[in-house]
Structure 1
Amino acid sequence: MTAIGFLACETTLPSAGERRGDAFEHDLMIAALEPAFAAKGLELRVIDWEAPLAEFDGLALVMLGTAWDYQDKAEAFLAKLEGLEKRGIIVCNSSSPVRWNASKTYLKELALRGARTIPTIWLNDVTPADAQSAMNEFECDTLVVKRQVGAGAIDQVLLRREALPETGWTFGHRAMLQPFLPAIAEEGELSFIFIDGAFSHALRKVPAAGDYRIQSLYGGIESVYAPSADEADAAAAIIRALPFPAPLYARIDMLRAEDGGLMVMEAEMIEPYLYPEQGPDLGEKLAAAVLQRVS
Structure 2
Amino acid sequence: MPTLIRVSPRIALATSADHAELHPHDLPLADALRVAGLDPVAEVWTDPSVDWSSYDAVLLRSVWDYHVRYLEFTEWLGQLDKAGVPVLNETDLVRWNADKQYLMELRERGVAIVPSQVAAGPCLRDVVNGLNGEQVVIKPTVSATAHFTIRGTAGSDELSQAIDDLPDTVYLVQPFQPEIQSEGEWSLIFIDGEFTHAVLKRPADGDFRVQNDFGGTAELLEAPAAVLEGAAAALAAADTRRSPVYARVDGILANGRFLLMELELIEPYLFLPQSPEATTKLASAVATRLS
TM > 0.5: yes
Residue among 164, 171, 174 paired with 2:159: 164
Residue among 191, 198, 202 paired with 2:194: 198
**More displaced 10-residue stretch of structure 1: 165-174 or 262-271:** 165-174
Cα distance, 1:80–1:42 mapped onto 2, change above 3 Å = same
SS at match of 1:291: helix
Matched length: 280
Q: Within 2, Cα distance between the matches of 1:37 and 1:83?
A: 25
Alignment match, 2:282: 286
How far apart are residue 230 of structure 1 and its match?
A: 3.3
Residue among 105, 111, 135 paired with 1:109: 105
Alignment match, 1:121: 117
Q: Within 2, Cα distance between the matches of 1:67 and 1:233?
A: 29
**More displaced 10-residue stretch of structure 1: 164-173 or 75-84:** 164-173
Q: Within 2, Cα distance between the matches of 1:272 and 1:145?
A: 21
Q: Is the 8 A contact 1:7 1:66 kept in 2?
A: yes
How far apart are residue 165 of structure 1 and its match?
A: 2.6
Alignment match, 1:12: 19
Alignment match, 2:4: none
Alignment match, 2:139: 146
Q: Within 2, Cα distance between the matches of 1:64 and 1:39?
A: 19
Unpaired segments ≥5 residues, structure 2: 1-7
Aligned CA-pair RMSD = 2.0
Q: Within 2, Cα distance between the matches of 1:131 and 1:263?
A: 21
Q: Within 1, Cα distance between the matches of 2:282 and 2:163?
A: 49
Matching residue's letter, 2:251 = M
- TM-score computed with the length of structure 2 as normaliser: 0.90
Summarize deviations over 1:75-119 as a string: whole Å, max 9, x none. 221221221232222101121111111110000100011100111
How far apart are residue 59 of structure 1 and its match?
A: 1.2
- TM-score computed with the length of structure 1 as normaliser: 0.89
How far apart are residue 242 of structure 1 and its match?
A: 0.8
Q: Is the 8 A contact 1:122 1:176 kept in 2?
A: yes
Summarize deviations over 1:149-186 as a string: whole Å, max 9, x none. 10110110012244433498253221110011110111
Q: Within 1, Cα distance between the matches of 2:278 and 2:49?
A: 29
Cα distance, 1:289–1:53 mapped onto 2, change above 3 Å = farther
Aligned-residue identity in percent: 34
How far apart are residue 236 of structure 1 and its match?
A: 0.7
Unpaired segments ≥5 residues, structure 1: 15-22
Matching residue's letter, 1:153 = A
Residue among 2, 21, 28 paired with 2:9: 2
Verify: 1:43 aligned to 2:35, yes or no.
no
Q: Within 2, Cα distance between the matches of 1:260 and 1:89?
A: 43
